[in-house]
Amino acid sequence: MAQVSLKNIRKVYPNGYEAVVPTSFNIADGEFVVLVGPSGCGKSTLLRMIAGLEDITVGELSIGDRNVNHVDPADRDIAMVFQNYALYPHMTVRKNIGYGLKNRKTAASDIEAKVQDAAKMLNLTEFLDRKPSQLSGGQRQRVAMGRAVVRDPALFLFDEPLSNLDAKLRHQMRIEIKALQRRLGVTSIYVTHDQVEAMTMADRIIVLNTGRIEQIGTPTEIYHRPASTFVASFMGAPPMNLLNAESADGRVHLGGDMSVAASTADGPVIWGIRPEDIEIDPTGDIPFTVDIVEELGAHRLLHGQLNGQDLTIHVSKDVVVSAGPIRISINLDAVVLFNPETGLAL
């Protein structure tokens, strides 16, 4: 295992494009950290700099006790799992998993023992003599993971490894990757644009936007106390409701008689509330118009208007509701206020 430390890491390409602004964070031994954000936010660039596949423009990168700024990828004691599996089509599963060890001149008996151990761990034993074309997408991804596991690295790097799988396989592989990381205890950095993967897999999440860190925190912290409107709208399915409001006399009024205490000066604010923190309440103070009922099996989403602004409410499958006017109440303790100019939480 290894600690990873980034100190003011920056990436600027020759054309002047700044892909990553000066960025600093630490990853503890054995921690599973997910870099998440939309396309072009710099998450893969950061991962590739850690892997040594991209040069660092400015800053210091350490893995364990070593500064690795100028260390070749092969000498960084890392193993990387890619989106496209990167398997050799003419080789069997056995040879694909052991190929890296063979290149390192590892004894044949040791290679076979490590391959067998990895195959057993990943449920690939019966497929060792097949070629990649004879495997499903999920099985190919397991082979790619097996190739990383046998290296016994200090650091695992995952670059959107589940993007090519269907929804059912992605769910299954999320569980398998997390279980494997827990079993091995290897420090891991995982890149994805899928906030569900980030929320379900990470010990900590790093949310990136246009090359800079928006927030670092546990999934619970990121979800319930977003640091900005970007985080609030990006993390969560459905995302946090964000509505324009006015602060006056030390309170922010949310409609009807509903208001929350505010430490901000009088003026415009954005208030955020998660869909599950709103309830249908016949005696509630807030009128709400349901436009669309979205059936999702275990629950329903009610989409509609509150004072002319879009609002989504999460209710259980047992709540029967149709389009039209209803009344609602809000968990005031769950309201998050944001500055409308900076987007930052107040």
Average pLDDT over residues 158-180: 87
Sign, Cα dihedral of 165, 166, 172, 174: positive
pLDDT tens by residue, 283-332 = 888 889 999 999 998 999 999 998 888 999 999 988 888 889 999 988 88
Q: Rounded CA gap, 188 and 202, in Å?
A: 10
Whether 201 shows a pLDDT value over 70: the answer reads: yes
**Residue ranges of the alpha helices (H) in 31-71?**
43-51
Q: Please, what CATH class does the domain formed by 4-233 belong to?
A: alpha beta
pLDDT tens by residue, 162-172 = 888 888 888 88
What residue has token string 């870099």? Answer: 35
Domain-wise residue ranges, the chain: 4-233, 238-338
pLDDT at 256: 60
pLDDT at 1: 65
Task: Give the CATH fold of the 238-338 domain.
Answer: OB fold (Dihydrolipoamide Acetyltransferase, E2P) (2.40.50)
pTM above 0.75, yes or no: yes
Whether 280 shows a pLDDT value over 90: the answer reads: yes
Percent of the chain with pLDDT over 90: 69
pLDDT tens by residue, 2-52 = 899 999 999 999 999 999 999 999 999 999 999 999 999 999 999 999 999
At 208, list the tokens.
């990136």
pLDDT at 77: 92
SS3 state of residue 19: strand
Helix or strand run (H / E) with residue 54: none
Query: In 116-203, where do the E strands start and end?
Result: 155-159, 187-192
- DSSP conformation letters of 247-261: EETTEEEEETTEEEE
What residues contact 199, with CB distance under 8 A and at least 6 apart? Answer: 205, 219, 222, 223, 235
Percent of the chain with pLDDT over 70: 97
Q: Rounded CA gap, 295 and 287, in Å?
A: 22
The terminus-to-terminus CA distance of the chain in angstroms comes to 38
